[in-house]
Amino acid sequence: MDDGDTEPVLLVQVKDVQAGTADFEQVLALAAQVLAQDRYLVSSVPGVQESRVLGAFAGTRCAGFLRYLVQVIGAEAGRSAVMHNGEPLREGYVEAFGVDPRLRRRGIGTALQQHAARQCRIAGCYQMRSRSPVTSTENYALKIAAGYVLHPSHENDSYYFLLRL
């Protein structure tokens, strides 16, 4: 279905990128130059069990990125763990997410989100969670279409999005 607003889907390869590699430098450049999110890709976050950065590449060009953290649900807020079958429930928390504005509405963000959700399922996460400012209407549309539910943040003018894995 084409609503006239959508460009054709762009085929991208989504892959893990490691600091110090050329791919990571491309991701970092896109995050810094276009989307001002580079600090979220390199920040140290205490208490996380895993931190991964994904890059979406159209050929050799970085088209988007997503950083997620695997953590015990509620740990960053100082809450005690919710136990299920003797294990604490964990989540994939999206710390940074962006697509080159010139390439939006072409399936890149969806590919990144789906890849992250698959990896979080494999890691045994119960849910995916992210927070976006009220100005991120394109991100909202993507998350709602993917089945996320939302809840207003009490911290600022943003919403939390949650997806049960």
Q: Could you read off the pLDDT of 33-43 as tens digits, one per residue? A: 988 999 999 99
pLDDT surpassing 70 at residue 98:
yes
Domains of the chain: 13-164 (3.40.630.30)
**pLDDT bucket at 6, cuts 50 / 70 / 90:** low
State the pLDDT at residue 79.
Answer: 93
Per-residue pLDDT band at 2 (split at 50, 70, 90): very low
Q: What is the mean pLDDT of residues 60-81?
A: 95
CB 62 within 8 A of CB 23: yes
Selection from 54, 40, 23 nearest residue 119 by Cα = 54
pLDDT cut 70: percent of the chain above it? 96
| Per-chain mean pLDDT for the chain | 92
Identify the pLDDT of residue 133. Answer: 84
- Name the pTM for this structure: 0.90
Q: For the chain, percent helix, then strand, then coil, each to nearest 5?
A: 30, 35, 35
Mapping DSSP to helix (H, G, I), strand (E, B) and coil, where does residue 56 land? strand
- Mean local confidence (pLDDT), 84-88: 96
